[in-house]
């Protein structure tokens, strides 16, 4: 094998340059140690939450039925929670609440400074979905207590925004229900006015009671009339005094007049009873619908006024006891190893090119 490519030759070169390699590697190691010691310690506080099901905010069912609950939300609920956690509203709230411009010593008087502040915070703020469909939120800071407080504030803000979104939807639904109830009340009032006019016109006050009364009255009158007429025939056959017969005839005439009047009233009743009953059915149906909508409104308003869970805390944020970075040993070992490798490569480069006449190459010879 050619000596230029043998392991012994390589080791010979490294042995010849070992002092320089050690000095370069040691210098880089010392610099990496000093620089890593100058880096501030960062502490990471973390919380893990699950999205709660929106059904927890639903009102109780009307009629006392059993309410259908789902404790944990679906993947879509987690996506919404993840979007809220990464929203500018949450990040701006944390930056403002903890005065991070002062804490990070960044001048935000210019747009560039504000962008720098957000960029700095974004590097320390992390959200990710866990493999168990949870949301993990972490914040790093040089102050472990501040890191814990910022995570807690972010979690509470996310929950507040999530509740606000649901409550805004509930408020819009409440307003729609209220408007619908008002419109239905107007319609019912109009139908009530029409029903009153119909009842006054046809003198109908209780159609079912009046119909029954008219039937009984007609039967009673016709029965009495038939009896009186039979009595007259009997009196004539027995040739009773004319005065007695005339008294019965007078009763018959009065009863016929009464029947005629009753028939007139019944005829008017029959002309309007269908319209009145249809109007009553429509009004009663409208009243039932309003009662149902009012109950819905009452239930939804009660749900709107009470608090409800939008997240379930699985792992609560705490004050971290150990730093998350820098990993000083890894930094020192990494730079030291890199310095050693680069030193060796430089040595090989020097040894491999020492016989080259660079002046001739430059002169084009």
Q: Which of 56-60, 77-81, 138-142 has the lowest mean pLDDT?
A: 56-60
Question: Which tens digits make up the pLDDT trace of 28-72?
Answer: 889 988 887 878 889 999 999 998 877 766 665 555 555 556 677
Q: CB atoms < 10 A from the CB of 286, how many? A: 17
Res 359 pLDDT > 70 = no
Euclidean distance between CA atoms 148 and 141, whole angstroms: 9
Q: How confident is the model at residue 100 (pLDDT cuts 50, 70, 90)?
A: very high
Residue, of 78 and 352, whose pLDDT is higher: 78
Q: What is the per-residue pLDDT for 56?
A: 67
Q: CB atoms < 10 A from the CB of 188, how many? A: 19
Q: Please, what is the angle between helix 7-16 and helix 328-353, to 10°?
A: 110
Question: Which tens digits make up the pLDDT trace of 288-328?
Answer: 888 888 888 888 888 888 777 888 899 999 999 888 887 87
Terminal-to-terminal C-alpha distance of the chain? 31
Q: What is the per-residue pLDDT for 3?
A: 45
Q: Which of 12-21, 54-63, 77-86 has the lowest mean pLDDT?
A: 54-63
Res 217 pLDDT > 50 = yes
Euclidean distance between CA atoms 324 and 81, whole angstroms: 26
* Domain ranges within the chain, ordered by starting residue: 1-39+326-346
Closest CA to 56 of 43, 45, 67: 67
DSSP 56: G
Residue by residue, DSSP assigns 225-269 as HHHHHHHHHHHHHTT--HHHHHHHHHHHHHHHHHHHHHHHHHHHH
Q: Output b/e per residue, 51-86; b: 16+ Cβ within 10 A.
A: bbbbebbbbeeeeeeeeeeeeebeeebbebbbebbe
Q: What percent of the chain has pLDDT over 70?
A: 91
């Amino acid at each position: 094998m050619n000596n230029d490519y043998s392991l012994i030759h390589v080791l010979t070169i490294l042995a010849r340059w070992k002092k320089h390699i050690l000095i370069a590697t040691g210098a880089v190691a010392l610099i990496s140690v000093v620089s890593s010691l100058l880096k501030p310690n960062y502490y990471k506080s973390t919380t893990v939450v699950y999205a709660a099901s929106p059904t927890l905010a639903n009102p109780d069912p009307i009629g006392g039925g059993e309410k259908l609950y789902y404790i944990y939300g679906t993947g879509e609920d987690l996506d919404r929670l993840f979007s809220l956690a990464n929203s500018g509203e949450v990040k701006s709230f944390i930056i403002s609440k903890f005065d991070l411009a002062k804490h990070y010593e960044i001048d935000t008087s210019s747009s560039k400074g504000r962008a720098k502040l957000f960029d700095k915070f974004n590097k320390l703020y992390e959200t990710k979905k866990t493999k168990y469909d949870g949301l993990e939120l972490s914040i790093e800071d040089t102050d472990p207590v501040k890191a814990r407080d910022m995570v807690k504030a972010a979690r509470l803000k996310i929950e507040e925004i999530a509740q606000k979104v649901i409550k805004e939807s509930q408020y819009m639904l409440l307003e729609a229900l209220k408007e619908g109830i008002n419109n239905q009340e107007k319609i019912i009032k109009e139908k009530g006015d029409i029903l009153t006019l119909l009842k006054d016109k046809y003198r109908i006050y209780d159609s079912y009671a009046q119909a029954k009364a008219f039937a009984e009255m007609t039967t009673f009158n016709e029965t009495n009339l038939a009896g009186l007429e039979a009595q007259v025939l009997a009196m004539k056959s027995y040739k009773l005094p004319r005065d007695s017969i005339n008294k019965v005839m007078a009763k018959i005439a009065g009863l016929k007049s009464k029947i005629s009047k009753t028939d007139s009233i019944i005829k008017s009743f029959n002309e309007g009873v269908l319209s009145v009953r249809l109007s009553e059915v429509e009004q009663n149906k409208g009243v039932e619908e309003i009662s149902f909508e009012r109950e819905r409104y009452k239930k939804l308003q009660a749900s709107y006024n009470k608090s409800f869970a939008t997240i379930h805390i699985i792992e609560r944020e705490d004050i971290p006891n150990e730093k998350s970075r820098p990993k000083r040993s890894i930094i020192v070992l990494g730079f030291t190893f890199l310095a050693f490798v680069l030193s060796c490569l430089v040595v090989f480069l020097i040894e491999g090119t020492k016989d080259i006449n660079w002046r001739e190459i430059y002169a084009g010879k």
